[in-house]
Chains A and B, each alone.
Chain A
């Protein structure tokens, strides 16, 4: 009885999303190994820093990441001084000053990382009407998550003969309808890594996706750690309560 009640609970809750999942699971999604996979997953700091470098040097030309602040970069292994230096390298709009004007000043750790365009309209104007989406949550905003974003970055191909490409679009294995407005952002050695890691497209894609996953879920490691303690506690509690239950019910069984 207990087991079937338990089974019902699990089934009703697990079956539900499996039903929705089956609806839009992409069969061609290449599965990757990520350092943050699984219940003990963590973020590889070196990969995060390489990923940030790629974002900074390649992606930030078009894509903002507005939910990140410079101070958040301390979580990926930069010191307070390094973060101050990174922030100071950006110009940030502030104001109005006492004359009523907006002005530019060097960034501070408390500032959000400024995007390439002042607003969406400017972004569209610079990109043939397409709006490069903010990257802060992109990994959580796409079915397939990190694997999907990795698949997009590494999925650019020559269009098959006879395939009707629309004006200004690029052929991509995973793009919706195989067409995506973004031109391939990564090419071998587009970036030179400080730690000497060879900058192949798969490597860069892997690192930038790790960075973007952190950008979307910066508290993942806290979550996993807390989850371990909570699970351990609940397992012990369940054991103790079960023993107490059996003891009490022994009187009338």
Chain B
């Protein structure tokens, strides 16, 4: 692709590109990159996730220049940031609420994938990389929450690290290893700080792989059918750059509302009490984005065969994410997008309700009806993944797919192809 810009700029760019094809690369991947013309706003959430990763890293590094990762000084160093450091309150609230925003964005991005079959062939690895990012994100967020060394920081760390004691034989040894001592303490805080700083850069690397995988076959689209030629696509710039920019601005409005007007709405008051190893809070609750896993963890109140209820809860909680790795193979439908899957469409929304219900369960003390709902919701979640999704794929009669994206978008309706041949076989 010849650079037609005049004069010195063009010469410098050619000089660099000949040795390191950077500008060429950017031009191909971000400028002229052919993207399906029919992407909806549900496709904004990928770039939003990328923006949030940058925001969290930037705000995190700035906080790291002022924070002290020592059990006796951590809480006070955060208060100093809030009170004395110029704009410290802003960077802290940006980072704190950014964590919640990041998860909201990533969950919507994930559910978009579930609805439109973005995990189906040839995007299985793209999906798997995404699930790996989610796991790394959860680990990062968990460790980050410990750093302010408030009551919730300390006790969430205690409860979650104690889970590993459920592993037979080596469990308690692993827990001591994780703690670096006989309880969560200063060594634990130091290593969580080091890892919390490190993991986002690991996430960055996996995100880059995620993008490479994405660009191998390009984005999915609401119709779930492959693009068949240039009439189905438009260049990423300016169409999707401006659309992403607009979406970003709207998202920032929501983010700004929390940061400036309700910065502690999504948090726990108990975390403004310094950690006290001698006193447990009345209710230990994780942040909202971990509530569904917490609910599943607590829902197993009985042993299963030789597995203790505690271990079973741990296994199921982790499995709720691990099972996502297998989704491309669990889903037997020949059709990608739920738009053309009349049964799955409703089952999808049932899953959404189920996950929200699990969130409610996780937020409440495990008594009475909360336990029952939690057990039903946990059962339903795994039933969805292991039974409903495979069965529906096989038994459902999908609606007829349009012949092409452009046909559907440019007012066709004519030329519908039969169901069953929407995707190119690998």
Interface residues of A (CB under 8 A from B): 1-2, 5-6, 8-10, 12-13, 15-17, 19-20, 22-24, 39, 67, 72, 133, 136-137, 140-143, 145, 176, 216, 218-219, 222-224, 226-227, 230-231, 234-235, 237-238, 241-242, 244-245, 248-249, 252
Given contacts A238-B249, A248-B242, contact A142 B40 (CB under 8 A): no
Q: Considering only CB atoms, which chain A residue lies closest to B272 in the complex?
A: A141
**Known contacts A5-B42, A67-B79, A248-B242: A23-B253 contact under CB 8 Å:** no
The 10 closest A-B pairs by CB, nearest first: A227-B260, A16-B288, A5-B41, A141-B272, A241-B246, A1-B40, A20-B363, A238-B249, A140-B272, A219-B89
A-B contact count (CB 8 A): 135
Query: Are A23 and B365 neighbours in the complex by a CB distance under 8 Å?
Result: yes
- Docked complex Cα distance between A248 and B360 (Å): 43
User: Of B40, B107, B238, B288, which contacts A5 at CB under 8 A?
Assistant: B40
Name the one of B40, B101, B365 contacting A13, with C-beta atoms under 8 angstroms. Answer: B101
Q: Considering the chains assembled together, what is the distance between the CA atoms of A238 and B273 in angstroms? A: 39
Within 8 Å CB of B153, what residues of A? none
B424 → chain A closest CB, angstroms: 25
User: Cα distance A224–B89 when bound, in Å?
Assistant: 12
Binds A, one of B126-134, B159-167, B263-271: B263-271
- Measured between beta carbons, the chain A residues less than 8 angstroms from B66 are none
Least distance between B387 CB and chain A CB atoms (Å): 26
A10 to B251, CA, bound (A): 9
Residues of B within 8 A of A22 (CB): 360, 363-364
Q: List 28 A-B contacts (CB under 8 A).
A: A5-B44, A8-B108, A9-B254, A13-B101, A13-B104, A13-B254, A19-B356, A20-B363, A22-B363, A23-B283, A23-B365, A39-B261, A67-B79, A136-B79, A137-B272, A137-B273, A141-B269, A219-B82, A222-B89, A223-B260, A226-B260, A227-B261, A230-B260, A234-B253, A241-B249, A242-B246, A244-B242, A252-B37
Rounded to whole angstroms, the CA-CA distance of A188 and B266 in the bound complex is 38
Residues of A within 8 A of B212 (CB): none
The residues of B that contact A176 with a CB separation of less than 8 Å are 282
- In whole angstroms, how far apart are the Cα atoms of A22 and B362 in the complex? 12
- Report yes or no: A252 in contact with B254, Cβ–Cβ below 8 A: no
- Tell me, yes or no, whether B100 is within 8 Å of chain A by CB: yes
Residues of B within 8 A of A230 (CB): 256, 260
Q: Which single residue of chain A is at the shortest CB-CB distance from B363? A: A20
Q: How far is the CA of A237 from the CA of B89 in the complex (A)?
A: 25
Interface of B is mostly: helix
Query: In the complex the two chains form, what is the Cα distance from A242 to B253 in whole Å?
Result: 14
The distance from the CB of A102 to the nearest CB of chain B, in whole angstroms, is: 20
| Contact A241 B242, CB 8 Å, known A1-B40, A5-B40 | yes
With A227-B256, A234-B252 known, 5 other A-B pairs at CB within 8 A are A5-B41, A6-B41, A9-B251, A140-B272, A235-B253
Q: Say yes or no: is B211 at the interface (Cβ < 8 Å to chain A).
A: no
B42 near A248 with CB under 8 A, answer no
By beta carbon, the residue of chain A nearest B364 is A23
Chain B positions within 8 Å of A224 at CB level: 260-261
> Which residue of the partner chain, among A226, A231, A242, A244, contacts B90 with CB atoms under 8 Å?
A226
The answer to whether A234 and B256 have CB atoms under 8 Å apart is yes
How far is B326's CA from A157's CA once the two chains are assembled, in angstroms? 60
Q: Are A19 and B260 in contact (CB under 8 A)?
A: no
Q: B90: which A residues are within 8 A, CB to CB? A: 223, 226
- Closest-by-CB residue of B relative to A239 is B249
Of B82, B105, B249, which one neighbours A237 at CB under 8 angstroms?
A: B249
